[in-house]
Amino acid sequence: MPSEKRARQRALRAEKQAVIQKQRKRRATMRRGATLGAIAAAIVLIVVLIQIGGGHSKKAATKPTSSTTTTFPPPSTQALSTAAVAPVCPSATETKRIVWFTKAPPACIGRRSVWDATFDTSLGDFTVQMPAAKSYAGVNNFVFLARWNYYNGTFFHRIIPNFVVQGGDPTGTGSGGPHAFPGYSFTGNLPPKSCTAKSDCYATGDFVYANSNGPSTNGSQFFVVLPGGAPELSRDYTLFGQVISGQSVVDKIGTYGTPGEAGTPKLKVYVLKVTLKQVKA
């Protein structure tokens, strides 16, 4: 049998070895913890960077790139004031949006002025040129409303293939009558008297006011004539402009319509913004 001294020595060695093993395990555990902590910190940093990058991309992407993923709020969700405002000629840099007025606007543009109105839509841009000499009341009314940001955020509520693309109603319903937006009606001019129903009164790309009962009931709604639509229009509508660029965009909008009087669109095509440019004083 081993002596008592040797037994004590073996016991001390075993105890020392146990302490060393315990210290090794503790260091290994600490190293694993540090590694996991570094990994977790890296993951958190990546997530933060992704979130920051995503925030910037969202701010930059103010316009959808696909015609089938329109995300703009419909007019029914926008704040449309029911308090009628006395019409005052707006500035060229007006940021407020007003859609309800007590009466038709005063004279806000020159009698011989010419205006380009560019429609930035969810399917692309098109530009209409409007000579005031051709229809002063019509052009003056449109410039007045567009400068009050009236048309921004609306959509083309009536699209009839091979006929017309119609818009200009903040409610998106095409509602008419004496209490419809913009709160007033005005009298516009008609095509020449030599032009009669079913004749060549209008042409593809013509920019025309819609009305509820003849040219004395013009308001804010307008339509653009599509290819094949001109012969179907009678001499009852105020012609005040013509598409000078982007007719292909108008034609594309026309493909999202449905036959029949209602012309319920298969896709809501939005007017994001109307930008005016005076090309002649």
Averages of pLDDT over each 10 residues, the chain, 281 residues:
59 61 51 43 39 34 29 47 87 94 97 98 98 97 97 96 96 72 93 77 96 92 96 92 98 97 96 97 94
Alpha-helical runs (H) found in 133-211: 136-147
Bridge partners (DSSP) of residue 85 are 101
pLDDT for 176: 61
For residue 43, being part of any structural domain is answered with yes
> Are residues 174 and 261 located together in one domain of the fold?
yes
> What is the amino acid identity at position 79?
A
State residue 195's pLDDT score. Answer: 83
Q: Are residues 152 and 57 in the same domain?
A: no
Question: 252: closest CA among 129, 155, 161, 120?
Answer: 161
Distance CA 118, CA 116 (A): 6
The confidence score (pLDDT) of residue 196 equals 74
Residue 56, pLDDT score = 34
Q: How high is the pLDDT of residue 74?
A: 45
Spatial contact of 151 and 271, defined as CB atoms under 8 Å apart: yes
96 & 185 share domain: yes
Does residue 67 lie in a domain region? Answer: no
Domain encompassing residue 166: 75-280
Same domain membership, residue 143 and residue 18: no
* 179 and 131 within one domain: yes
In terms of DSSP bridges, do strands 124-131 and 158-160 run parallel, antiparallel, or are they unpaired?
Answer: unpaired
pLDDT of the residue at 230: 93
What is the structure's pLDDT at 187? 95
Predicted confidence at residue 193, as pLDDT, reads: 82
